[in-house]
Structure formats: C-alpha cells, structure tokens
Amino acid sequence: MPRTEADKIRNVALVGHRGSGKTSLNEAILFQAGAINRLGSVADGTTVSDAAPDEKTREMSISSSLASFDWQDRKINLMDTPGEPSFVADALAALSVSEGAVFVVNAVMGVEVNTDRLWQRAAELGLARLVFVNMLDRERADFFRALDSLKSAFGAHAVATEIPIGSEHEVRGVIDLIDMKAYEYDGTERDNSKEIEIPAELQDRAQEYREKLMDEVAENSDELMERYLEGEEISHEELVTTLKKGVTEGHLFPVTCGVATKNLATNRLLDAFVEDLPSPVMRGAVQAGEVTLGPDPDKPAVAFVFKTLADPFAGRINLFRVYQGTINHDTQVFNTRAHSKERVGQLLVPQGKEMGQTDEFGPGDIGAVAKLKETHAGDVLAGEDGDYGLSVPPLPSPVMAFAIEPKTKGDEDKVFTALRRLQEEDPTVDLHRDAQTGEQIVAGLSQVHVEVIVDRMKERFGAEVNLKPPRVPYQETIKGPAKAQGRYKKQTGGRGQFGDCRIEIEPLPQGEGFQFENAIKGGVIPSGFIPAVEKGIREAMADGVVAGYPMKDLRVRLYDGSYHSVDSSEMAFKIAGSMAFKQAAEHASPTLLEPIMTVTVTVPEASVGDVIGDLNGRRGRPLGMEPKGAMTEVKAEVPMAEMLSYAPDLRSITGGQGDYSMEFARYEEVPAHLAQKVIAAAKEEAEAVKA
C-alpha cells in the first residue's frame, strides 16, 4: 500500500465526557465510510473500538482505539478516546498527535466537566475543534440548549453549521446552514439520507442561525466581511475556505448534530472532517524543542510513539505519528531516548483490535509497529539519533493507592511483570514499594482505575492479586525553624567511624520541595563528605518524624561540623546527617499533611441537597453549583481520606445517576484530633511489620 500524501490526511480525535456516545459515533462513522459491514452496539459489546473484555463488561472505553479509512479521497485516522477521567492519559495522547478534535456532547446534558477539561487541553495544543451534539433522540434532548451551554463554556465562536429537524424521538434530519439544504434520514443503513425542502416551520429559525454563522465566518476575512456587509453574494467555495481557515486558526468552532446510534447525519460529519478540519500540511511545521519538523517525505524520519499496547502474545504494539520523513518496513531507526537502534519489521494499520499491513507511513500519518525491543510511549523513533523535543503531554498524578499482594505465593515476579507491562500502556499508573512497610503499592487516578488494572492483570497475564484498603498518601512538614547537631562516633578496636555535622532547618512555601544548602567554610567538613550528609538527610526525610510519612517543603542548611582524618567516612557522615535532621525536625513543630481533592459531582437536581450534605459530612468545602442540562454540577474541596468509599455512597444517594471525578488540589494540615488517629494507626502498622 503506497503512502498517503500529507495534504490528504486528517488526524481526528473523538473526545468528550463519559456517556456522550463517542464509541457509538466512532462505530457509525466506520460503518458509513464502508470500513465495517455492520453497525455494532456498545450495549451488546459488538463495537470495533471497545474490543477488550473489560470495556464490554463496563460498557465504556478504557483505552483509545485507532481506525483508518478513506472518505472523499482523504485518509482519516480516527481515534476514539475514553471519556472517563480515570483514563485521561489516552485522550491527551490522542490530542497531542491530532490536527483536529471532535468534541461529542450529549444533547441532554450539554457541556460536562470532562468536556470542559479536554477543551482547555485542546486549546493549549492549538487544535482545530468541531462539536457534534449527539443523542438528539433522547427524552429532554435539546440542541439549542446544548448550543447555549457550548457558547457559555467556550465563547460565541461556537457556532451552529447545522440544526436538527424535529426533536427527541421525532428527530428525523438536519438542515445544512452553509448550503441551506435539508436532509432527512430513514433507517440506519449507509446512504440513508435524502434531500428535502426545508420545513416551513423551520425556515425562519434556519435563516436566523445562517446569519449567525455568516457573521462568525466573515470575521475571519476583512475582504469577506466588507462584501458581506454590502450584501454581496458569498460563494460556497469562499464560505468553506474561510470557515476552514477560522477553524484551523482556532477562531471558529463549528457545531454539528445527529444521532450516532441511528447513523443520522454521520455522513455530514464525515464531510466536515474533510471540509472543516486541517491536514498536517495546512497545520504547518511543528516546533519540537529547538527542532522544526515539517511534513516533508524526503527528510530524515522523525516519529513520536504516543501509545503502547501491552499484548501478552504479540508483545508491545506501539502506535506512532510521523512528523517528518517516511517510516519504512524492514528498516532500522534510532530510539532517541535509549540511543539505540530498533529494527522496524511489519508496519500495521489498526482497525480497532484488527490489524492490516502496509509498507510505509509518510509524514502526517499515524500507524503501528510491533515487537520493538525498548520502545514505548513517549519515545521518538528517528532516522538519525538526536534530541527532537517531542514528549507526552503533562498527565495528572495518581491519587488513589492500594497495597497489593499475589493471591498465590511465588507469583511475585508474574505480578510485577504484568504491572510493568500495564504501566507502559498507561503512564498514569504508579508502581512502587513502600520502603517503610515493604508493601507493593499500585496507584491510579481513581478506585475504578485501579480495579481495571487488576482486572487486566488477571485477564491478560494470569496474575491475580488481593487489594488492601486504599492508602492515603499523607506527608509531613515543619512549621518552624530549628538547629541540631548530629555526631556519630563508633570505635571497634581497629579503624573507627566518625562524622559530625550541624544543621539548621526552616519551612518553605508549599510546593517548593526540598532545598539543601552547603554553607561549610574553612573545610571543617571535607567537600567529599558533603553529599553523604545530604543523602542521610534525604533518607531521614523519607521516613518522617510524626507518623513515618515523607517530609517536604523545607530547607536544610549545613553550616558546621568536624571530621577525623582517619576515622571519618561517607557512611559516618550519612548517619550523622540523618541523626541531625531527626533531632532538628522534632523541634521544628512537625505536622502531618493530607491531600485535598477538588471533587466535581454531577447529580440529578433532586439529589443536590443530599449530596452537599454528604460532602459537608466528609469535611468538604463546597465551591459552587452549576446547572448542566438536566443535571447539576457540584464542586467541592474534600480531603482524600474522606473520599475512599465515595463511589458506592454516591450511587446510593443518587439512585445510580450520580457521577464524579477528583483532581489533586494541594496538601493541608490534618486537624489535631484526626492527626492523632493517623499517627496511632501508623505506629500500630509499624509495630506489626516489626513483629
């Protein structure tokens, strides 16, 4: 299969809040384009993109899915992404390698919390954005209310290019405001539309929204604006060209509409991919650090790996975007992170879980390759080794931690290997061993996130584990200054051990981390022993002085000490540094900190009072409420310790209709009466480990 020219490629990410119908829309698009032969359903687990068993069971996307197909002589690389905030890494990765993003919005709910967050990320990346208002056939669905919520959230430049014919279960078509033509849809088959006259009852409304569209489009061209104001006729080509310019430059956001499950207006959306969204050539060169990468097929190849799939049989499958040059099969490339050569075998063209094959991918294209030895998400593959300044976008930090242990003794290696493979697939998974308790800790963005990780370990790798209750990642700090001396002296008959240091410590503002200042003068401690003192201090900080939690946001100044020309050693000064820090910290008003989360809860209006009351009972501080279609969005700041069992409680309060997401906000001091309980529990745990 020959490579596709960059100006005929559209890289598009489907993004939006969970439950907006992205996967159903992805399915309808593939069906309408002829890439699949039947229209699958999320409910019965037959869609192309939600192919994993856990996605079928949970009826939601957990990983992004890539499918490539042709439409109007263009190659479309379409990525269906998860809307659940716990799996946001895949959505952000897809956005980072796309020129255009299609935001799928539920016509009942309007703009929801994750839609808003992803919109901001797309804006930061400078992506062209188009909106598809879905689920017009639902009860209480209202396109114009959804459009108002889009304008309220994203500004007046969100402008309708289509309006629906009919509403709720009577919706039957759309009016194209660019050409002022109406289309009616019958059934779910391909080519299920026919052109009709604009219904008489909608002619005035269609003209009203046509004028709003023209006002917005004309703003993107002074010449067009002048002619438009003078009442001159604007040709279809001029309108489409100026519209595309406004979309590409991020000044205009077309709002389309339809019903994915009925294949209603899917063909219109596909046309919008071609007509409204930019190609890699139109988007232009990409500045990657100090390197400029242009879509030139003859320059040295540069490709960014944005996603890794952990397959127990095929090994790693890496999805990549080519920014420059051409990636050919059966060739060698450099992994610029490892500075090593990788052999590219067969190049793959993903279609959900199915894989086609090709000989090459040119600039602007997206594809996959299996069985690279060292490469994973975040790496750059290039024809020449170097620093190309491409990286994974900033990701949220994991906040929900569990201790895990193998169900079967002797399976430790199997569990560890499975977790490492899944961590390559999802970089928001954190895996580490608790130095204090020796427990293996796995952390994710939510309880659901960690449960999915455990399910995938069992399903893919046969590794079963037990989850212990979530651990709150408390931290410690100091509130005042203090000084201390650490003097370590040991005589064993032969050469002894001697280290002596004096330090002073003081608190730093939150988020400043740890600062070490070497203020030794006159060589009272030789420079070769200074790093050992700092190492001892860092090790002491890791164990804390209040309840054994890591310490942060403080400065240590090493200002004096002494040494022995024979007995002093790095080990002695490391111990002395640790001793000095512990003594100083105990006299510096040490305190326990807890993570505070920004919680966004979307609930039916009837449940708002109960939800706010429940959050107050969890030491929450409400930040405000905002109507979101038929639902209400409640924001609050709540300590993480109070949110560990929130998911089942929210389901109970709202009859299963509530949804929530959490993001880390900051650390705050734990109230004294609660701190004592945490400290007592930590001491009991430490004693149990010793026993």
What phi and psi, each to the nearest 5 degrees, are found at residue 130?
-130, 145
Between residues 654 and 44, which one has the greater pLDDT? 654
Tokens, residue 660: 């929530």
Provide the β-strand partners of residue 370.
317
Average pLDDT of the chain to the nearest whole number: 90
What is the C-alpha to C-alpha distance for residues 521 and 530, in angstroms, rounded to an integer? Answer: 12
What is the band of 1 on the pLDDT scale with cuts at 50, 70, 90?
low
Tens of pLDDT along 586-602?
A: 999 999 999 999 999 98
**DSSP code for 629:** T
Q: What is the pLDDT of residue 260?
A: 95
Q: Apex CA 639: angle with CA 635 and CA 645, to 5°?
A: 90
Q: What is the pLDDT of residue 432?
A: 82
Q: Apex CA 185: angle with CA 179 and CA 190, to 5°?
A: 100
- CATH number for 7-280 (one of 3.40.50.300, 3.30.2270.10, 3.40.50.2300, 3.40.50.360): it is 3.40.50.300
Q: What is the pLDDT of residue 291?
A: 86
What is the band of 220 on the pLDDT scale with cuts at 50, 70, 90?
confident
Q: Say if residue 216 is exposed, middle or buried (CB neighbours under 10 Å; 0-12, 13-18, 19+).
A: buried
Between residues 437 and 70, which one has the greater pLDDT? 70
pLDDT value at 469 more than 80: no
| Global confidence as pTM | 0.76
What is the C-alpha to C-alpha distance for residues 329 and 3, in angstroms, rounded to an integer? Answer: 12
Q: What is the pLDDT of residue 470?
A: 66
CA distance to 167, 368, 625, 638, per residue, from 141 (Å) = 7, 39, 22, 33
Residue with tokens 């779910």: 188
Q: What is the pLDDT of residue 174?
A: 96
What is the band of 435 on the pLDDT scale with cuts at 50, 70, 90?
low
What is the band of 61 on the pLDDT scale with cuts at 50, 70, 90?
confident
Tokens, residue 322: 């080519």
Neighbours of 451 (CB within 10 A): 18
What is the C-alpha to C-alpha distance for residues 651 and 594, in angstroms, rounded to an integer? Answer: 26
User: Under the phi-then-psi rule, with left for phi > 0, alpha for psi from -120 to 50, and beta for the rest, what region is 561?
Assistant: left
Tokens, residue 605: 């209006």
pLDDT value at 574 more than 90: yes
Segment 406-431 mean pLDDT? 87
Least confident of 198-207, 246-255, 424-433: 424-433
- DSSP per-residue codes, 388-413: ----PPP-PPP-EEEEEEESSTT-HH
Please check whether the domain covering 592-673 is classified as CATH 3.30.70.240: yes
Q: What is the pLDDT of residue 437?
A: 60
Segment 575-582 mean pLDDT? 97
Tens of pLDDT along 388-408?
A: 888 877 887 776 778 888 998
- CATH number for 400-471 (one of 3.30.530.20, 3.30.300.30, 3.30.70.870, 3.40.50.920): it is 3.30.70.870
Tens of pLDDT along 246-298?
A: 999 999 999 999 999 999 999 999 999 999 999 999 988 888 777 899 999 99
- What's the topology of domain 289-382? Elongation Factor Tu (Ef-tu); domain 3 (2.40.30)
Alpha helices (runs of H) in 332-489, residue ranges in sequence order: 412-425, 447-461
pLDDT value at 321 more than 60: yes
Q: Is 547 within 8 Å of 683 (Cβ atoms)?
A: yes
pLDDT value at 508 more than 90: yes
Distant-in-sequence, close-in-space partners of 92: CB < 8 Å, separation ≥ 6? 121, 392, 393, 395
pLDDT value at 222 more than 70: yes
**DSSP code for 472:** P
What is the C-alpha to C-alpha distance for residues 210 and 176, in angstroms, rounded to an integer? Answer: 9
Report the SS3 class of residue 659.
Answer: strand
Q: What is the pLDDT of residue 177?
A: 94
Q: Which helix (H) or strand (E) holds 615?
A: helix 608-617
**DSSP code for 2:** P
What is the band of 447 on the pLDDT scale with cuts at 50, 70, 90?
confident
Provide the β-strand partners of residue 347.
358, 369
Q: Which helix (H) or strand (E) holds 431?
A: strand 430-433
Q: Apex CA 348: angle with CA 74 and CA 352, to 5°?
A: 75
Q: What is the pLDDT of residue 436?
A: 53
The CATH architecture assigned to 476-588 reads: 2-Layer Sandwich (3.30)
Distant-in-sequence, close-in-space partners of 655: CB < 8 Å, separation ≥ 6? 604, 607
Tokens, residue 612: 């706010």
CA atoms 222, 225, 230, 235: torsion sign? positive
Amino acid at residue number 620 = G
Tokens, residue 325: 């040059």
What is the C-alpha to C-alpha distance for residues 51 and 350, in angstroms, rounded to an integer? Answer: 13
The domains spanning 476-588 and 592-673 adopt the same CATH topology: no
Segment 97-114 mean pLDDT? 92
Q: What residue spans define the domains of the chain?
A: 7-280, 289-382, 400-471, 476-588, 592-673
pLDDT value at 424 more than 80: yes
pLDDT value at 79 more than 60: yes
What is the C-alpha to C-alpha distance for residues 445 and 112, in angstroms, rounded to an integer? Answer: 19
Tokens, residue 575: 């111990």
Q: What is the pLDDT of residue 652?
A: 86
- DSSP per-residue codes, 52-86: SHHHHHHTS--S-EEEEEEETTEEEEEEE---SGG
Tens of pLDDT along 20-59?
A: 999 999 999 999 999 988 888 887 778 887 777 778 788 8
Q: Is 151 within 8 Å of 158 (Cβ atoms)?
A: yes
pLDDT value at 628 more than 80: no
Report the SS3 class of residue 528.
Answer: helix
pLDDT value at 326 more than 80: yes
Least confident of 33-42, 92-101, 169-178, 536-545: 33-42
What phi and psi, each to the nearest 5 degrees, are found at residue 14?
-90, 115
Tokens, residue 160: 């309708």
The percentage of residues in the chain with a pLDDT greater than 70, rounded to a whole number, is 98
Tens of pLDDT along 343-384?
A: 998 899 988 778 889 999 999 999 999 989 889 999 999 998
pLDDT value at 491 more than 90: no
CA distance to 123, 289, 513, 667, 685, per residue, from 542 (Å) = 39, 35, 12, 17, 17
What is the C-alpha to C-alpha distance for residues 539 and 537, in angstroms, rounded to an integer? Answer: 5
What is the band of 235 on the pLDDT scale with cuts at 50, 70, 90?
confident
Tens of pLDDT along 533-545?
A: 999 999 999 989 9
Considering just the CA atoms, what is the radius of gyration of the chain in Å?
29
Segment 242-249 mean pLDDT? 90
Q: What is the pLDDT of residue 108?
A: 93
Q: What is the pLDDT of residue 312?
A: 67
Distant-in-sequence, close-in-space partners of 475: CB < 8 Å, separation ≥ 6? 549, 550, 551, 552, 592, 593, 667
Report the SS3 class of residue 480.
Answer: coil
Task: Give how far the C-alpha of residue 470 lies from the chain's centroid of Cα atoms, to the nearest Å.
Answer: 22
What is the C-alpha to C-alpha distance for residues 487 and 503, in angstroms, rounded to an integer? Answer: 11
